[in-house]
A and B are shown apart, each in its own frame.
Chain A
């Protein structure tokens, strides 16, 4: 029995808690990012953390999006474990919300122009936050 336990211990466990922002569907059917807003300083974050990362103040649950503006963007052209380059990534400032890192639709497409308006899409099946440029 002990030998079996030791064997199981030697097998690496998968990361069971996904660290990425969680995307949900709002009452209007549009995607939202779950997060927090600080009751003391107003800081926002795209994570359900127990305290404000800026001032350690008390926080309340908040939802952000779906619209935002591209702060910057790039196309990753090097091999990254579990991914197929090239792929575009953007830092998106959600309106009245946090800056989130998102993949850009269509997959394999170019980086969006900085300053362009984008909208959250449903997360990918594997859990990446995604945005598409608003025409």
Chain B
């Protein structure tokens, strides 16, 4: 006997560089909003996603808001930590282990890093100096070499997502940029320029999950999947991160009983770098192989297009506090499916998809990927 599961409420802090606020304050903003949204005062368990900790951070922020005594579990899955917390919370409700569960993602990066995330010294590629932008730059350079994308198409993703964020007051950055301006911004790792990279951010995001009761504001979890990467090398014709997204999406669509990802009305995907959104839309099967960049340039994936991707502005604009990102994506799709997304609303959206992919462990095609399918009330 298992339960159908719904998202009963969501909330987020503001996203951005806010070193003057601590994680207690950021987490409170997210949890207070999610509890108010769900109309609840308490939960039975909490899963917390965070990458850079520090140890004990989950209990430290939760005790400040009177959430003590119940099971608190911290998970780390790189950029997919928040959606991993969501996936575990979902499973706990689905199986009846707990009735009502909070999934919380938190990260404060401005106080931990001056610039890009420091590569992990115990990893071969981190120790070799492969900063995360450089890992994505390898994929972008390969795409350009194969003619699978142009520099202008890479830039079009940044133009699109920064324009989407104009309508998202919680986003760190927004703006009407031109392709030329994106390409002329400072080179970070060839061919990725500054405006093609997500900023360093602080933030928190939360969701309250429980059994679906058919309530008018409940967003049903139609299906989800989580995978960790297998070895990635010359045996794959694809760039790093493609195959794990493809395979996780196939699992999630099967769990949701959906035959075609094109049935999805609105998507929030992992665009930590412009090339990431291009590869992801191809891996999901939303566009044809090699057409991800062209689809962005044509406006297919813009608000008003056939398949709007990252109406929130994505990680590129909202910012990317690693542990919080996945739950901010869940919050955005929840608002979209409840017709509460204001000027960035995708008209009549009934089915939404969230995808988060985190990586950094050498040899593997990603540390973890989570894909979630959500359905309107």
Contacts and interface: CB of A to CB of B under 8 A. Distances in A.
Interface of A: 15, 18-21, 43-47, 53-54, 71-83, 87, 89, 91, 93, 98-99, 101-103, 111, 114-115, 127-129
Interface string B125-143: 1011111011001110110
Nearest to B186: A77
A78 B116 contact: yes
A128 B128 contact: yes
A102 B362 CA distance: 13
B131 A80 contact: yes
Nearest to B120: A19
B145 A115 contact: yes
A72 B145 contact: yes
B230 A54 contact: yes
A38 to B, nearest CB: 10
Interface stretch (B187-195, B201-209, B313-321): B187-195
Contacts of A74: 134, 137-138, 141, 189-191
B118 interface: yes
B61 to A, nearest CB: 26
Chain A: interface secondary structure?
Answer: loop
Nearest to B146: A114
Contacts of A71: 138, 142, 234
Residue from A71, A83, A93, A129 having most chain B Cβ neighbours under 10 A: A71
Given A80-B119, A99-B233, A114 B141 contact: yes
B122 interface: yes
A103 B130 CA distance: 10
Contacts of B123: 19
B187 A128 contact: no
Contacts of B137: 74
A114 B129 contact: no
B334 to A, nearest CB: 35
B143 to A, nearest CB: 9
Chain B: interface secondary structure?
Answer: loop
Interface residues of B, number: 38
Contacts of B115: 78-79
B119 A45 contact: no
A85 to B, nearest CB: 9
B134 A93 contact: no
Contacts of A46: 124
Contact of B133 (A44, A73, A78, A101): A78
B231 interface: yes
Nearest to A99: B233
A101 B130 contact: yes
Given A89-B128, A89-B129, A72 B189 contact: no
Contacts of A73: 138, 141
Contacts of B233: 44, 93, 98-99
Given A21-B124, A101-B125, A91 B231 contact: no
Contact of A83 (B129, B190, B232, B239): B129
A2 B190 CA distance: 52
Contacts of B145: 72, 114-115
B231 A45 contact: yes
Given A53-B231, A80-B116, A19 B190 contact: no
A91 B233 CA distance: 10
Residue from A82, A91, A98 having most chain B Cβ neighbours under 10 A: A91
A115 B147 CA distance: 14
A71 to B, nearest CB: 7
Contacts of B191: 74
Interface string B172-212: 00000000000000111111000000000000000000000
B254 interface: no
